[in-house]
Structure 1
Amino acid sequence: MSFNGTSNYIASDELRLAVNAAITLERPLLIKGEPGTGKTMLAEELAASLGTELIQWHIKSTTKAQQGLYEYDAVSRLRDSQLGDDKVHDIKNYIVKGKLWHAFENTGRPVLLIDEIDKADIEFPNDLLQELDKMEFFVYETRETVKAVQRPIVIITSNNEKELPDAFLRRCFFHYIQFPDQEEMRRIVDVHFPEIKKDLLNQALESFFNLRDIPGLKKKPSTSELIDWLKLLVAEDISPEALREKDSKKAIPPLYGALLKNEQDIHLFEKLVFMARR
């Protein structure tokens, strides 16, 4: 199994090496990077390129590690016992399988995505150490051990909202997705807009990277926001001249609300433009 990118996903040489190294080492691949740089999409395209199933576990602030293994539905069993249902005698009827259980019992070698692990409680990664390391866990209610048929390819994403424990990091292969330079960004855009006018793309990329270079931005526009902006520019038939300015730092690009996502950055941008014009 090896990953070389896909027609829908432009992966750098470093990212391809990281994915293939994690597959070879049979360790989880921990991916960090700015929001919107394609961390989640990597798992989707990896599964598609390998022709295997993608099992997605999207983490929330309330998610517990146990939910990824299984949950015992005691409430349903109590209700069924009150109704005299015969299935109440088999506790297995009330074991709800989690994402890891589904990945472990898969007869192929699935891709398991644990998305945005840093959203959960600080103890969440530690609670999965044994399961991700040994690829097995014990079900206390049924007294059985669930072992992986084949070791899944585990992709873990993080937006760096909080630090992850050292013991967890030691078990992962780590890669940070660097923000694309202009040449790499052109290849990414070409996947989404193969027929975009070159002059429009040149001006849009210049405005985009100038915007990212503004010091003090709370959230720099990401790749996904550039794609949204270009989609609007094409839909509204914005001309390259509308983006062109001798000093592009003195011009507010049209539809800039697709790039800036909070009032602090918008006020900062407008203030800098006003000062530059003066």
Structure 2
Amino acid sequence: MAEYILSEELREAVHVAEITKRPLLLKGEPGTGKTLLATYVAESKQLPFYRWHIKSTSLAREGLYFYDAVARLNDSRFPEEEAMIRVRDVKNYIRLGALGEAFSFPKRSVVLIDEIDKADIEFPNDLLLELDKMEFFIPETKEHIVAQERPLVIITSNNEKELPDAFLRRCIFHYIEFPKRETMKAILLSHFPKIESEFMEKALAMFYSIRKIESLRKKPSTSELLDWIQVLLHSGEKLESNSIPFAGTLFKSEEDYRVHLN
């Protein structure tokens, strides 16, 4: 696995979140390593890792627990004694979500709430108490789940929606800037340790010149650069100043592809 390149500013943000025990909210362009940070922190500190990927239909409660009433109803149709014993205990139909698992774990852990801005605008507000107090209540079982040790919660956002002020006040914020050239070299070397220096310099020059094109709908990100380099190395393709080989790995829309052709 390639090494995660952690800037001093980002390292400091993680440290502040650990000291204050507040969630760390990360923003930045897609492909700047927001999601990978949580995995890196969990692995480097050897902590359990729980991931909650947010969708447009996600509800705040899903990260805490889920009550499978349908499964319980289906089980109640079977007269066998074993099935009936299972049905009588509602705990058999409660499944903890990522936050619920982390709160229940007796030691420190890392929780990733990924792309929180994809959910409904009220979604962050529905988690205020749980993230502030690190506890929640399950009405179906009358259980009160309280974190024995507060997990490090890392939240990512691609800025698709504005997040509520009440939610922002409870977070430590950090914006991940797009990697500068020297940092990007370190990233490439961590993924491709045998890459030739001259080839890397040409590829980076071409990549950053593309990102300067103002009319691009979507600028290529780090992940697209890595894909491009991988394809170039695999194919043995040479880089010439007047053409961009395998442009489909860098441009992800018809408009941007036409800009490249022109």
Cα distance per residue 1:69-125 (max 9 Å; x no partner): 112222222222221322211111111211111010112211000001011111110
- The CA deviation at 1:51 is 0.6
- Using the alignment, how far apart are the partners of 2:250 and 2:2 within structure 1? 25
- Using the alignment, how far apart are the partners of 2:44 and 2:108 within structure 1? 13
- The CA deviation at 1:7 is 6.7
- Using the alignment, how far apart are the partners of 2:138 and 2:234 within structure 1? 54
- Using the alignment, how far apart are the partners of 2:232 and 2:147 within structure 1? 48
What is residue 120 of structure 2 aligned with on the other side?
Answer: 121
What is residue 62 of structure 2 aligned with on the other side?
Answer: 67
Gaps of 5+ in 1: 1-5, 246-250, 272-278
What is residue 184 of structure 2 aligned with on the other side?
Answer: 185
What is residue 146 of structure 1 aligned with on the other side?
Answer: 145
Partner letter of residue 267 of structure 1?
Answer: R
What is residue 248 of structure 1 aligned with on the other side?
Answer: none
Alignment partner of 2:12 out of 8, 17, 20: 17
Alignment partner of 1:256 out of 244, 247, 251: 247
| 1:34 maps onto 2:25 in alignment | no
Partner letter of residue 46 of structure 2?
Answer: G
Cα distance per residue 1:112-162 (max 9 Å; x no partner): 000010111111100000000000011111112100021000000011111
Partner letter of residue 39 of structure 2?
Answer: E
What is residue 86 of structure 1 aligned with on the other side?
Answer: 85
Cα distance per residue 1:163-213 (max 9 Å; x no partner): 111100010000010011111110111100111011100100000000000
- Using the alignment, how far apart are the partners of 1:187 and 1:144 within structure 2? 48
Percent identity, aligned pairs only, is 55
Partner letter of residue 35 of structure 2?
Answer: T
- Using the alignment, how far apart are the partners of 1:194 and 1:206 within structure 2? 19
Gaps of 5+ in 2: none
- Secondary structure at the aligned position of 1:100 is classed as helix
Partner letter of residue 10 of structure 1?
Answer: I
What is residue 45 of structure 2 aligned with on the other side?
Answer: 50
Instruction: Answer whether contact 2:65 2:95 (CA < 8 A) is retained.
Output: yes
- Farther-moved stretch of structure 1 (251-260 vs 185-194): 251-260
Q: TM-score, normalised by structure 2?
A: 0.95
Q: Which runs of 4+ in 1 moved over 3 A?
A: none
- Secondary structure at the aligned position of 1:168 is classed as helix
Instruction: Answer whether contact 2:2 2:191 (CA < 8 A) is retained.
Output: no
- Secondary structure at the aligned position of 1:83 is classed as coil
Q: Which has the higher contact order (CA 8 A, sep 6+)?
A: 2
What is residue 206 of structure 1 aligned with on the other side?
Answer: 205
What is residue 172 of structure 2 aligned with on the other side?
Answer: 173
- Secondary structure at the aligned position of 1:36 is classed as coil
